[in-house]
Amino acid sequence: MAETIMKRFILLLLSLCSALALSEDKPDRTKVLPMMTEGIIMEGSSVFTYVDEKKRRRLTADVYRPEADGPHPAIVMYFGGGWQNGRPGLFAPLGQALAQRGYVCVIPEYRLSGEAPFPAAAHDAKAAIRWIRKYAKRYHVDPNRIACIGGSAGGHLSGFMAATNGKEEFEGEGEHKDTSSDVQAAIVMCGPMNLLEENIVQRVEEAVGKPEGDAILDFMGGAVPSVNNEIYKAASPLTHVSKRTPPMLFIDGENDRPKVRYTEFWEKMDELQIPHEFVLMPKGPHPFWVMKEWFDPTVEAVDAFLQKHL
């Protein structure tokens, strides 16, 4: 009897040890909550632009900034969601963490594809940069040190902001047109840089006529590459890379097609001798930056890059 109990105890102990070992190897995919409030000031829903002539449709931004006097560098942050979903609150934890590092973080709304297709989101993204530069003194920002960051669809917008520095055709009709929308650095997390990549074109063409549709198809206003590839070309950051494109950091999760989205973009940057860096998040999924396992490494990577280039 005693021998049987001992065997059961040993088996239980072994199973517990095995479970503990597995839990140590398993990534912590718990979402990070926006609770990093120490040392920062939070200002929500500040109107940064209007998108209609009668000024009835307004867009707002959430701002997280250090309590300490500036001027501080600023980061304009674009949330993801396939250009069809999402809200500024998705980037609240990252904005708070970076504000604690000394950055003024601005997380703006932008028009989603259900309201208006490309280039509306790009116009709104630039309007947010103009706004924080216009009111740099009010928010204790150094207007000569503004970066942008985005993840997924927001990563596309961040890359688009960097690639279109100085290109007036993408400014839109928003507020503060007398102020520059240029950024001095940019971070792209899992964002497509070329919407005419073979796999994207195939995906969109196959989605035509299907009830579920496709996020890129909606973002392009229903246009398909085989009929109108010019809009896909115009919406691709790859098309616009120039000598005015600033240093850029690219971050991918290991389990999310790392580097694939950027190879052509990097070739152009190399030709123009524009600095760029890449960070891989081990075992990282899409989107890695919202989960505890990869949150702190993301903050570290962004801060290290901006300390160097901003």
First to last CA, the chain: 71
Q: Which of 225, 143, 234 is nearest to 180 (CA)?
A: 143
13 is a domain residue: no
Q: Print pLDDT tens along the chain (310 aa).
A: 555 555 555 544 545 444 444 445 678 999 999 999 999 999 999 999 999 989 999 999 999 999 999 899 999 999 999 999 999 999 999 999 999 999 999 999 999 999 999 999 999 999 999 999 999 999 999 999 999 999 999 999 999 999 999 999 999 999 999 999 999 999 999 999 999 999 999 999 999 989 999 999 999 999 999 999 999 999 999 999 999 999 999 999 999 999 999 999 999 999 999 999 999 999 999 999 999 999 999 999 999 999 999 9
Regarding whether 244 and 301 lie in a shared domain, the answer is: yes
Domain end call among 235, 260, 290: 235
Asked whether residue 16 is assigned to any structural domain, the reply reads no
- Specify the pTM: 0.91
Whether 2 is covered by a domain: the verdict is: no
Based on the fold, state whether residues 209 and 157 are members of the same structural domain.
Answer: no
**What distance in Å separates the CA atoms of residue 85 and residue 82, rounded to the nearest whole number?**
6
CATH of the domain at 40: 3.40.50.1820
Query: Minimal CA–CA distance to 151: which of 252, 278, 266?
Result: 252
Residues 218 and 205 in one domain: yes
Instruction: Say yes or no: 138 and 245 in one domain.
Output: yes
Q: Which domain holds residue 231?
A: 198-235
Could you tell me if residue 267 is inside a domain?
A: yes
In a domain, 22, yes or no: no
In this prediction, residue 8 carries a pLDDT of 54
241 plus 229 within the same structural domain: no
Residues 297 and 246 in one domain: yes
- The answer to whether 132 touches 106, Cβ cutoff 8 Å, is yes
Q: Specify whether 204 is located in the same domain as 64.
A: no
- The pLDDT tens digits for 166-216 are 999 999 999 999 999 999 999 999 999 999 999 999 999 999 989 999 999
Residue 10, in any domain of the structure: no
Examine residue 141 and state whether it is found in any structural domain, yes or no: yes
State pLDDT tens for residues 30-47: 999 999 999 999 999 999
Residues 248 and 226 in one domain: no
Q: Cα 48–118–53 angle (5° rounding)? A: 45
